[in-house]
Amino acid sequence: MDLGAEYFDIELKVIIPALDYSSRLVLLLINFLLALHYI
């Protein structure tokens, strides 16, 4: 259990910054598509 929690914590520390960056790109893409849709 402890090893799993430790691994999960490391995974979160690695993935969250990457997710933060990619989620910004995804939000920009969604905003762009919505803008095209509503023009």
Cα within 13 Å of Cα(7), Cβ side: 4
pLDDT of residue 11: 75
Tell me, rounded to whole angstroms, the distance of Cα 2 from its chain centroid: 26
14 residue type, one letter: V
pLDDT in the model for residue 1 = 52
* Domain around 6: 1-39
pLDDT in tens, 1-33: 566 677 777 777 777 777 778 888 898 999 999
Number of domains in the chain: 1
